[in-house]
Amino acid sequence: MASIETYEDRSDAELLKAALAGDEDAFLLLYAKLKGGVFRYAFHMTSSSSVAEEVTQEVFMTLLKEGTNYREARGDVGAFVFGIARNFIRRLKRRERRYEALPDDDAVLRLAASLVTEPEALQRKMMRDESLDQLQAAIASLPEHYAQTVILCDLCELSYAEAASRLGCAVGTVRSRLNRARSLLARRLKPMRSAEIGIRDTGTEGCVI
């Protein structure tokens, strides 16, 4: 069996082809490259680490079974894998899942900071956790095409072009959806902003999120 180093300069499409031919090292390298993005997307879409783990496992099992359907002309392997993940999540979201708070993720914190005025005025960790919970709930309440766009661009930190590839739309559409999604989030997070103003009016020192 070839060493993983043999494939380090290969494209994802070449790795997938080798993996489908039975090369375990090629599959392991492809898995290592793509699993983080799949898990991150699944987690932010479902608010559950256990569901994200389930989706990630199922996605790569499905990739081995259905990877022959991949066509490089239609997009990169990442987009193909994203499509598998999206289909699983659509089915899984029909089930009721226990809500789990978002971790202290830098991308999440930056998004919260961009949507809530002066987030450093929110004091104590309890307030911080509450703000992240509200952000996650607000994202979950968006129509799916808006939620996916804000998750891919703001939380998974994909470029507009990468997000467009995964969503099967134009870059301009991604920009438009992202602007609309951010506007909706800001509106739905307005109560948080009002609570923050109330804290500031008390003269209590805030902490930085």
**Residues 172-207 pLDDT 10s:** 999 999 999 999 888 888 765 554 444 344 443 333
Q: Which of 125, 110, 118, 105 is nearest to 36 (CA)?
A: 105
| Last residue within a domain, chosen from 60, 92, 124 | 92
**Residues 118-160 pLDDT 10s:** 333 333 343 445 566 777 888 888 899 999 999 999 888 899 9
Backbone phi, then psi, for 93, in 5-degree steps? -70, -10
Q: Are 150 and 185 in contact (CB under 8 A)?
A: yes
- Domain of residue 164 covers 106-201
Residue 99 forms part of a structural domain:
no
| Last residue within a domain, chosen from 92, 117, 134 | 92
Residue 209 forms part of a structural domain:
no
CATH number at residue 178: 1.10.10.10
- In angstroms, the first-to-last Cα distance of the chain is 49
Residue 168 forms part of a structural domain:
yes
Locate 146 and state its tokens. Answer: 């808006």
**Residues 35-91 pLDDT 10s:** 998 998 988 888 778 888 888 999 999 999 999 999 988 888 999 999 999 988 888
Type of residue at 201 = D
Helices (H), 72-116: 77-92, 106-115
Percent of the chain scoring above 90 in pLDDT = 38
Q: How far is CA 48 from CA 42, 44, 53, 89, 103, in A?
A: 8, 8, 9, 11, 11
Do 161 and 197 belong together in one domain?
A: yes
Residue of higher predicted confidence among 97 and 69: 69
Residue 130 forms part of a structural domain:
yes
pTM, entire model: 0.66
